[in-house]
Amino acid sequence: MEGHLVTTLKKMNCQNAEDVKRAVKELNVSFIQFWFPDVLGFLKSFAVTPSELDEGMTEGMGFDGSSIEGFCRIDESDMMALPDPETFRLIPWRPKEHNAVARMFCDVLRPGGEPFEGDPRHVLKINLKKAADMGYTFYVGPELEYFYFKLKDGDPTRLTTEVLDRGGYFDLTVRDAAIEWRRDTVIQLEKMGIGVEYAHHEVADSQHEID
């Protein structure tokens, strides 16, 4: 069933609001998360139901911008989050057959529909256009390096400083939970349409990398 849903989504290749609404119906999506970053790069999110999707896709959904780091003052707090249909993806670690969850990245607008100057996505668009006007093409390839540590008493909110493996750079022979988690991370990323060039163990104990 999961493979069918992923294949169906890829075929849809959402380009507009109608594509998104059709995908939500056919994939039995119960919640659509609207994502956007604050000025420090922290991801913000709120969820809407399919009944609110039509309004959200055409007019955007309002929120209190004064509560978002670096956005605006209390007397100019009204903001709108307008989702980009092309970023519609199922969240693969949530249920698929019933109550599936999807997400879209949003542009942040002022109440009148003008782009908000502090929206990082808007700033990126401006600079991409400047680069294109100068004849440049922008490429980005994130190289994520991170560590795994054991939990204290199995509690996911309490980490120890104890590593999970003693592997080194590009080690193949390390066999433990960390390797499986890295592989699962790659699988989940690709299900969301994020291409992965390669993944490997890094230099330090329990250090891993995904590019």
Mean pLDDT calculated for residue range 104-121: 91
Most confident of 101-105, 165-169, 171-175, 187-191: 101-105
Q: pLDDT: is 141 or 96 the higher one?
A: 141
Residue 43's contacts (CB-CB under 8 Å, 6 or more residues apart) are: 35, 36, 37
> Locate tokens 């998104």: which residue?
20
pTM, two decimals, is 0.81
pLDDT of residue 207: 93
C-beta of residue 20 within 8 angstroms of C-beta of residue 105: no
Q: What single DSSP character describes residue 71?
A: S
Tell me how far apart the alpha carbons of residues 24 and 21 are, in angstroms, rounded to a whole number.
5
Angle at 189 between CA 3 and CA 203, to 5 degrees: 135
Per-residue pLDDT at 63: 78
Measured between alpha carbons, how far is 36 from 45 in angstroms, rounded to an integer?
A: 7
Average pLDDT of span 29-51: 92
Query: In the prediction, which pLDDT does 67 show?
Result: 67
Tokens of 40: 């420090």
Residue 65 identity (one-letter amino acid): G
The reported pLDDT for the residue numbered 203 is: 92
Annotate 57-96 with b (16+ C-beta within 10 A) or e (fewer). beebbebebeebeebbeeeeeebbbbbebebbbbbbeeeb
Q: What count of Cα atoms within 13 Å lies in the side-chain half-sphere of residue 143?
A: 4
